[in-house]
């Protein structure tokens, strides 16, 4: 049964990462700028800077069972957010102080150094977390998220509690 839970966690991580590479350099041809035809072989400038569309952080929590992800949070660099819980979406903008606090927690966590998969002993119907920040994704379960991830999870859960 534990191997099935682990497989489900890997599937959740795959879903989160599926949309993360399409806009990376080398992932495909860049769209032409409106009104300016591109000659073959010439570089085409991007229409929208990547930083303007890439989320600051993307989070999904699966509380276990067959219902799927129970909470997702996407926060853009400008503080705009979307929280989805129980099929209901809430959109808004984080206050500047709250956005700064979230950025500080993320930046201070050493996130890029946290292993991508952290299986503390996946428990059937136990909670699983997937967080993507700064181009790095981390998957962990509730039985033993790494110490460095815990403040990140607390900060994200606090955003969801306040705004979701």
CATH value at residue 7: 3.30.1560
Q: What is the pLDDT of residue 145?
A: 87
* Whole-number pLDDT of residue 132: 97
28 found inside a domain: no
| Residue 60 in domain | yes
Strand 88-93 with 128-133, pairing: unpaired
Distance (Å) of CA 126 to CA 1, 8, 28, 66, 148: 12, 11, 38, 11, 20
Q: How far apart are CA 110 and CA 41, in angstroms?
A: 40
Nearest CA to 157 out of 52, 92, 33, 61 is that of 61
In a domain, 47, yes or no: no
- How many domains are there within the chain? 1
Residue 148 within any structural domain of the chain: yes
Q: What are the start-end ranges of the E strands in 30-142? A: 57-62, 71-75, 80-85, 88-93, 117-118, 128-133, 136-141
- Maximum Cα–Cα distance for the chain, whole Å? 57
| pLDDT score recorded for residue 36 | 37
Q: Which residues, given as ranges, of the chain have pLDDT below 70?
A: 1-53, 65-69, 120-125
Residue pLDDT, tens place only, 102-142: 999 999 999 999 999 987 665 666 788 999 999 999 999 88
| Calpha distance 128→12 (Å, rounded) | 9
| Confidence at residue 67, expressed as pLDDT on a 0 to 100 scale | 57
Asked if the structure places residue 45 within a domain, the reply is no
Global pTM reads 0.67
Confidence at residue 75, expressed as pLDDT on a 0 to 100 scale: 97
For residue 61, is it within any domain? Answer: yes
Give residue 93's pLDDT. 97
For residue 137, what are the domain limits?
2-18+52-163
157 found inside a domain: yes
Q: Is residue 116 part of a domain?
A: yes
């Amino acid at each position: 049964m534990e191997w099935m839970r682990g497989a489900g966690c890997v599937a959740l991580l795959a879903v989160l990462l599926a949309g993360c590479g399409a806009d990376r350099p080398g992932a495909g041809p860049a769209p032409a700028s409106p009104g300016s035809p591109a000659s073959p072989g010439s570089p085409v400038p991007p229409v929208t800077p990547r930083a303007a569309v890439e989320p600051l952080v993307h989070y999904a929590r699966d509380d276990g069972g067959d219902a799927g992800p129970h909470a997702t949070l996407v926060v853009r660099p400008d503080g705009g957010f979307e929280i989805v819980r129980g099929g209901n979406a809430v959109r808004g903008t984080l206050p500047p102080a709250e956005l700064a606090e979230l950025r500080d927690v993320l930046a201070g966590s050493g996130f890029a150094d946290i292993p991508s998969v952290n299986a503390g002993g996946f428990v059937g119907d136990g909670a699983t977390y997937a967080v993507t920040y700064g181009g790095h994704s981390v998957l962990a379960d509730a039985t033993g998220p790494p110490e460095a991830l815990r403040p990140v999870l607390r900060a994200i859960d606090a955003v969801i509690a306040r705004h979701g």
